[in-house]
Amino acid sequence: MMYRAMEALLNSNVLVLNRLWQAVNICSVRRALTLLFEGHAEVVCAENGAFNTFDFHEWRDFSERCPHEAESIHTIRFRIRIPKVVLLLFFDRLPHKEVKFTRHNIFERDANTCQYCGKVFDRRDLNIDHVVPRDRGGTTVWDNVVCSCIPCNTRKANRTPAEAGMRLIRKPKRPKWRPFVQVTVPKPDDSWKHFLDIAYWNVELGEETS
């Protein structure tokens, strides 16, 4: 039973940041401790409202001062606390990934602006409109969806802009920038919240989008 508990701890998730403090990946506790021991990473830990970093020896000393109920691994010689976030010391790149097709990125691309009337709105007052309606053959892709305010969306209804006597202020297309890196895990740790945006806006869109 103790062995299984240890294995579960060693296989739990750790958030990985690059040298610029950007979330780039997740790894296991086992891998994180290896990176820490080899001097390739430091542990990031929040203390008194600030983020502090610890190398292996500093983290081991810090672990000894922590309450014993904190999740830790016990060796013959010392106890070391399970890291939740690690910072890579020699890696400052981002993974090569296309811009994810999400609500967040659609609103970012269109700058929270209705693409029919040109007015800026709070995101709660914007919809995602299919330029060519789906039941007319329109698909849920970058070049067929735009931000639309509720009045314009209601006016356009299930028609093309031309049929509704409306014009797009800008033709939609796939953006070239990458505003963030999304790291997706089933149950992110609370200590990751400062580094990750795991909200509704970052869910990959599909054909169910209205």
Phi (first) and psi of residue 178, to 5 degrees = -130, 100
Average pLDDT value for the chain: 83
Domains of the chain, earliest start first: 2-88 (no CATH), 103-156 (1.10.30.50)
Tokens representing 207? 């054909």
Tokens representing 191? 């200590």
- Percent of the chain scoring above 70 in pLDDT: 82
If pLDDT is split at 50, 70 and 90, which confidence band does 98 have? Answer: low
Find the mean pLDDT for residues 30-43: 94
If pLDDT is split at 50, 70 and 90, which confidence band does 19 have? Answer: confident
Q: Model confidence over 45-57: pLDDT tens digits?
A: 987 778 899 999 9
**Cβ atoms within 10 Å of 123's Cβ, excluding its own:** 11
Gyration radius (Cα) of the chain, Å = 23
Q: Model confidence over 103-154: pLDDT tens digits?
A: 988 998 999 999 999 999 999 999 999 999 999 999 999 999 999 999 999 9
Global model pTM greater than 0.75? no
Q: Model confidence over 169-210: pLDDT tens digits?
A: 999 998 875 544 555 565 777 888 777 754 344 455 554 443
Q: What local confidence, expressed as pLDDT, does residue 210 receive?
A: 38
Higher local confidence (pLDDT), 14 or 99: 14
Whether residue 75 has pLDDT greater than 50: yes
Cα–Cα distances (Å) from 207 to 22, 135, 139, in that order, read 30, 11, 7
Q: What local confidence, expressed as pLDDT, does residue 163 receive?
A: 95
Q: Model confidence over 56-70: pLDDT tens digits?
A: 999 999 888 876 656
First to last CA, the chain: 49
CA dihedral over 97, 103, 106, 112, signed as positive or negative: negative
Identify each DSSP E strand in 12-144 by its residue range: 13-17, 23-28, 41-47, 50-54, 72-74, 79-81, 85-88, 126-130
**Range with the poorest average pLDDT among 1-10, 23-32, 184-193, 200-209:** 200-209
